[in-house]
Structure 1
Amino acid sequence: MSEHDLDEQLPEGGATVRPVVAVVGRPNVGKSTLVNRIIGRRAAVVQDIPGVTRDRVSYDARWNGREFVVVDTGGWAPDAQGMAAQIAEQAELAIAAADAVLLVVDATVGIQDVDEAVVRVLRRSKKPVVLAANKVDDQRTEAEAASMWNLGLGEPFPVSALHGRGTGDMLDAILQALPEAPTEIFDAPRGPRRVAIVGKPNVGKSSLLNKLAGQQRSVVDDASGTTVDPVDELVEIGGTVYQLIDTAGIRRRVKEASGHEYYASLRTQGAIERAEICIVVIDASEPISEQDLRILTMVEEAGRALVVAFNKWDLTDEERRFYLTREIERDMVQFGWAGHVNMSALTGRHVERVGVAIESALAAWETRVSTGKLNAFLGRVVAAHPHPVRSGKQPRILFGTQAQAGPPTFVLFTSGAIDPQYTRFVERRLREDFDFQGSPIHLEVRAREKRRDRS
């Protein structure tokens, strides 16, 4: 097979722009539970504590053959202060960006002042609104749902997000409220590259996303672990649009994380799997921790391209930088292939270098080496540094091929078992010759089976 044949053939043509539904309501009316019901999986963080969802978070949804985007928002409160005010602002931004709004109210407690305040905001937005009266788990509570007519938004749809009761009729109403999705022609045959921003809590992940986006996109607070949901954002960096995923900080151990932090921690790992490249944010002002190394290992094991962002550089002095260099040499030796950026998300210093590092790492991640070039390289390596003799035998690399890109995966066919040290040596030389800076390499060795002697 030629090198050209190995290249993936991507279809040309248009892509459908999906309409957006914003799910809003006061805190703890069951918005995230309803979102999970709509998308058919447990993706949004759900807990009986008001205000668990803090940012606006988008998910793909499908109903009756139509695709749309659901945006889950934090609880909206008109007189909010501090972080609650930021959360309310995120909800208003979601309403402004949406094609239709799903207002969720709690049928079991009736209309509250906050519900009426949300209605006033929705009227000003002039967006079509579907009213969901949630927590109608049986017929007895349907009469209570009928009282929601008084909000003046038309028919309330009695639903139970927990049990799924009535959600079909509600979804039909949402589809009627949504505009038909137009088709746009994109120059690129695929969507934006997916970039996950990961790291332990309070290292500045949300601040980095906000700096890259150029707006207040994630709720930022000095309290560790403020972001509990993965937050997707299309951001242009250096002329290229990327889909950035800001994730909850990974706790020391999943077992130690309680409640919503437990699920957020699990989904952070999911965000790494969903991404093509990960920016691992490390606090340069503190010693590199086991947590940092564990996150780097997760990215490597997932086979994702990697950029290490040493954040809070403005808080380091000469002595700290000296020790950081020593820590990198001692503790991060196995991640020497990753691109590094020394930056400050707070001041914006060297943040622009992140875009260059992303581009370079993704290019390495997608590199394809033709079979001819690979075997010429292997021939040179084996001739200059043959495998050591073991038990009177010297295994040889017969030939090699690249099985896939993203991450670059190579299969070496050999005459016998190869020492792990020799495999690592070949991997190191591959990096030097073909420039895989920023990308992990997977090497698989397939030893030829011994022929059985025929009697």
Structure 2
Amino acid sequence: MTDTELDQPTGPTPVLAVIGRPNVGKSTLVNRIIGRREAVVEDVPGVTRDRVSYDATWNGRNFTVVDTGGWDPDARGLAERIAAQAEIAVSVADAVLFVVDATVGITDADEAVVKILRASGKPVVLAANKVDDQRTEAEAASLWNLGLGEPYPVSALHGRGSGDMLDAILDALPEAPEWDGELPVGPRRVAIVGKPNVGKSSLLNKLAGEERVVVDDASGTTVDPVDEIVELGGRTWTFIDTAGIRKRVREASGHEYYASLRTSSAIERAEVAVMIVDASQSLSEQDIRIVQSIRETGRALVIAFNKWDLVDEDRRFYLEREIDRELVQVQWAPRINIAARTGWHVDRLVRALDTALEGWETRVSTGQLNAFLGRLVAEHPHPVRGGKQAKILFGTQAQTAPPTFVLFTSGKLEETYLRFVERRLREEFGFAGTPIHLTQRVREKRKRR
């Protein structure tokens, strides 16, 4: 078996954000673009339920489609909700597909989004959906008044006009850059995340050496992600300060809901996340949930226990037990104790970041990996189940950032055994500060003729 039998990792593809009000046929149009109906109900791991991405191909070019979900025109605080959701979509996209219901025409909500799109400077393709006949096509012409250029009349349901629209999308999207397997060069991107009022903005101010972010004891002061270029340890870094995650996204409302989405976006944009925890308080469900989100998104992780100057001996005793109990899934993450307001031990952050990023980008050669797997299987074979014993036949590292391994097996491996393999991989090769993704491919037995 050769590496050519694996799905080869590919380089970055341009991103198309699909935005629009509810009931304009957005999801149907996304299905039309990606060419498969089941995609709408199949979440891609590592993205939020409210913003799901899919791979698409047209005329031999690959791109990523981000379905952002619609807005409720009758919701309170309409302008805030529209602006927040649209800004998230536009910020991560190379181009935008703006979907409008041609049978309804231009609404106040559509005009509010147009202002955001113009300010972004991103290329916009305007889709006039639900154009099923000549009469509706004439009505679609009124969408010229939005000032976004030519409206492309389409019927997401029947496919009418979708080819012309897709051609326009390809014209709007940049060509995918040539990719040689190397990670992009530039300042490392660090997301500072955590629940409200744990000291995220204080840490950023201390790192930047000036008051760049509003700091207030009232939680939730920061709403928008703030990107700051910071010189640290003789190098340049991009730090993303985010609003705290207060509740589950489904339970949050108003600006908190969109703050949560912005935080998720910040994690996705980053290479490494610094999770700030208030060491003087007990670890909360929110803390655990944010750590889990970083892990599932596949980002490198550093955990910084802030407000250490408020921690006494008793608190340290209980904190160690909380860490052992609640953070057992991320024992591999570097941990530092800091006091952001005074700057105590903040300089230790650079070493922790370097450790996490090094682990995130670690590659193990196929020869090394299979020598390791051979010893592992010989010493600790998979348990026999139903008279059969699954074996690891071969393994390869499909990609880095995060390290992703594919194991070819003679049968399905149990989750407990996969966790054992991951633990031994860490003991052998390090991988400090990074999640490891293990996938298995069961080799089908050839039937005898």
**Equivalent residues of 1:196, 1:277 under 8 A apart:** yes
Q: Which runs of 5+ in 2 are unaligned?
A: 12-67, 70-76, 96-107, 123-182
Q: What amino acid does structure 2 have at the position aligned with 1:375?
A: N
Counterpart pick for 1:317 among 288, 312, 320: 312
Identity percentage of aligned residues: 63
Are 1:429 and 2:424 matched, yes or no?
A: yes
Aligned residue for 1:388? 383
How many pairs does the alignment contain?
Answer: 309
1:165 deviates by 11
Q: 1:377 is paired with a residue of what secondary structure? A: helix
Aligned residue for 1:337? 332
Q: What amino acid does structure 2 have at the position aligned with 1:361?
A: A
Aligned residue for 2:356? 361
- The one-character-per-residue Cα deviations of 1:254-297 (angstroms, maximum 9, x if unpaired) are 23432222111111111111111100101000000010000000
**Equivalent residues of 1:396, 1:415 under 8 A apart:** yes
Aligned residue for 2:272? 277
Q: 1:220 is paired with a residue of what secondary structure? A: coil
CA separation of 1:317 and 1:7: change in aligned 2, threshold 3 A? farther
Distance (Å, rounded) in 2 between the aligned partners of 1:166 and 1:321 = 50
CA separation of 1:390 and 1:161: change in aligned 2, threshold 3 A? closer
**Equivalent residues of 1:308, 1:340 under 8 A apart:** yes
**Equivalent residues of 1:248, 1:265 under 8 A apart:** yes
**Equivalent residues of 2:8, 2:398 under 8 A apart:** no
**Equivalent residues of 2:294, 2:301 under 8 A apart:** yes
Distance (Å, rounded) in 1 between the aligned partners of 2:409 and 2:8 = 26
Distance (Å, rounded) in 2 between the aligned partners of 1:289 and 1:216 = 29
**Equivalent residues of 1:47, 1:259 under 8 A apart:** no
Aligned residue for 1:258? 253
Distance (Å, rounded) in 2 between the aligned partners of 1:422 and 1:189 = 35
CA separation of 1:193 and 1:163: change in aligned 2, threshold 3 A? closer
CA separation of 1:59 and 1:392: change in aligned 2, threshold 3 A? closer
**Equivalent residues of 2:390, 2:409 under 8 A apart:** yes
Q: 2:353 is paired with a residue of what secondary structure? A: helix
Are 1:326 and 2:325 matched, yes or no?
A: no
**Equivalent residues of 1:47, 1:260 under 8 A apart:** no
**Equivalent residues of 2:243, 2:259 under 8 A apart:** yes
Are 1:248 and 2:238 matched, yes or no?
A: no
1:412 deviates by 0.6
CA separation of 1:233 and 1:331: change in aligned 2, threshold 3 A? same
Q: Which runs of 5+ in 1 are unaligned?
A: 11-40, 64-136, 138-159, 172-187
Are 1:397 and 2:386 matched, yes or no?
A: no
1:388 deviates by 1.8
Aligned residue for 1:446? 441
**Equivalent residues of 1:161, 1:167 under 8 A apart:** no
Q: 2:298 is paired with a residue of what secondary structure? A: coil
Distance (Å, rounded) in 1 between the aligned partners of 2:304 and 2:115 = 43
- From the CA coordinates, give the structure whose radius of gyration is larger: 1
Q: What amino acid does structure 2 have at the position aligned with 1:420?
A: E
Distance (Å, rounded) in 2 between the aligned partners of 1:320 and 1:421 = 33
Q: What amino acid does structure 1 have at the position aligned with 2:338?
A: M
CA separation of 1:204 and 1:7: change in aligned 2, threshold 3 A? farther
- The one-character-per-residue Cα deviations of 1:18-42 (angstroms, maximum 9, x if unpaired) are xxxxxxxxxxxxxxxxxxxxxxx99
- The one-character-per-residue Cα deviations of 1:330-358 (angstroms, maximum 9, x if unpaired) are 11111101110111101111111111101
CA separation of 1:237 and 1:164: change in aligned 2, threshold 3 A? closer
Are 1:226 and 2:217 matched, yes or no?
A: no
Distance (Å, rounded) in 2 between the aligned partners of 1:338 and 1:409 = 17
Distance (Å, rounded) in 2 between the aligned partners of 1:444 and 1:347 = 44
Q: How does 1:13-24 map to 2 (within 5 A)?
A: none
CA separation of 1:166 and 1:382: change in aligned 2, threshold 3 A? closer
CA separation of 1:347 and 1:289: change in aligned 2, threshold 3 A? same
CA separation of 1:62 and 1:371: change in aligned 2, threshold 3 A? closer
- The one-character-per-residue Cα deviations of 1:33-67 (angstroms, maximum 9, x if unpaired) are xxxxxxxx99xxx8768xx99xxx9969999xxxx
**Equivalent residues of 2:9, 2:398 under 8 A apart:** no
Are 1:213 and 2:208 matched, yes or no?
A: yes
Q: 2:388 is paired with a residue of what secondary structure? A: coil
CA separation of 1:234 and 1:453: change in aligned 2, threshold 3 A? same
CA separation of 1:162 and 1:192: change in aligned 2, threshold 3 A? same
Distance (Å, rounded) in 1 between the aligned partners of 2:443 and 2:114 = 56
Distance (Å, rounded) in 1 between the aligned partners of 2:349 and 2:115 = 44
Distance (Å, rounded) in 1 between the aligned partners of 2:384 and 2:230 = 54
Distance (Å, rounded) in 2 between the aligned partners of 1:272 and 1:409 = 19
Could you say what the CA RMSD is over the residues aligned between the two structures, in angstroms?
3.8
Counterpart pick for 1:299 among 287, 294, 298: 294
Q: How does 1:43-442 map to 2 (within 5 A)?
A: 163-164=114-115, 190-442=185-437
- The one-character-per-residue Cα deviations of 1:68-94 (angstroms, maximum 9, x if unpaired) are xxxxxxxxxxxxxxxxxxxxxxxxxxx
1:369 deviates by 0.5
1:241 deviates by 1.3
Runs of 4+ in 1 over 4 A off after TM superposition: 6-10, 46-49, 57-63, 160-168
Q: What amino acid does structure 2 have at the position aligned with 1:424?
A: R
**Equivalent residues of 2:394, 2:408 under 8 A apart:** yes
**Equivalent residues of 2:244, 2:260 under 8 A apart:** yes
